[in-house]
Amino acid sequence: MSSISALADPHIATAQPIQHHVNASLQELLMIEMTSLAHRLTERTVLARSQSKQIVSSSLDEDDLSERELLESKLESIGYRVGHGLVERLSKDRPMLLDHLDIIKFVCKDLWTVLYHKQIDNLKTNHKGVYVLTDNQFRWFNKMSYHPILKPSQEALNKGKGVAGVGREYSAYLWFPCGVVRGALANLGMDSVVIAECPSGPPGVTFQIKTIMKET
């Protein structure tokens, strides 16, 4: 009686595992469309509420802000699931990472290379649970147009104008990658809060990670 292994095609049996790839352009377009969808839904919600209340105002009330924040958190939640699942595959054949710094380095090297085809450019830590990751050429921002905002005058600041600063228009596109990082860290046993910003304008992005100590 022949065994199953003997019946197998020897070329198939010794072939390397098939690697699956994702088109980088499609990944970028998906991220942009997710963010645009969140904003469209927010605008519709705000418009519907203002019409129902018959209020004509250029500002959002507390309910509208809560709705907008809910939509933004949805993008972060999607990113969380992506990061959590991605790290599950990347780390399945690796030894368990126990040290927080080793976990962060895994994100900076392995995870970043898979997502953005490069490693994080700079990693800093205060050795007290705070890590700052800097990507000088964040891949998803490289093709976006950018017009630097001039530093507001003191008179403008006194009037409450120009305080938004550089990079505010890009903040919406950072909720998803923040979720990816937080989900990846959570899968590796590291609870955290992840905040991203563009201190000097795109395409440079800084991710600040604050670890959450588990109660014993």
DSSP 121-169: SEEEE-SSSEEEEEETT-GGGTTS---PPPPPPHHHHHTT-STT-TTGG
The predicted pLDDT at position 179 comes to 93
Structure tokens at 172: 């919406």
Contact (Cβ atoms closer than 8 angstroms) between residue 35 and residue 173: yes
Confidence of residue 161 (pLDDT cuts 50, 70, 90): very low
Of residues 85 and 145, which shows the higher confidence score? 85
The predicted pLDDT at position 36 comes to 78
Confidence of residue 53 (pLDDT cuts 50, 70, 90): low
Greatest mean pLDDT among 78-82, 158-162, 200-204, 210-214: 78-82
Lowest mean pLDDT among 24-33, 49-58, 146-155, 170-179: 146-155
pLDDT in tens, 93-122: 888 888 999 999 999 999 999 999 999 999
Confidence of residue 23 (pLDDT cuts 50, 70, 90): low
Q: The domain 24-52+60-211 is classified under which CATH number: 1.10.3720.10, 3.20.20.100, 3.30.1380.20, 3.30.420.40?
A: 3.30.1380.20
Residues in CB range of 31: below 8 A, 6 or more apart: 140, 173, 176
Q: What percent of the chain has pLDDT over 70?
A: 62
Confidence of residue 18 (pLDDT cuts 50, 70, 90): very low
Question: What span, in angstroms and rounded, lies between the C-alpha atoms of 86 and 84?
Answer: 6
The predicted pLDDT at position 144 comes to 72
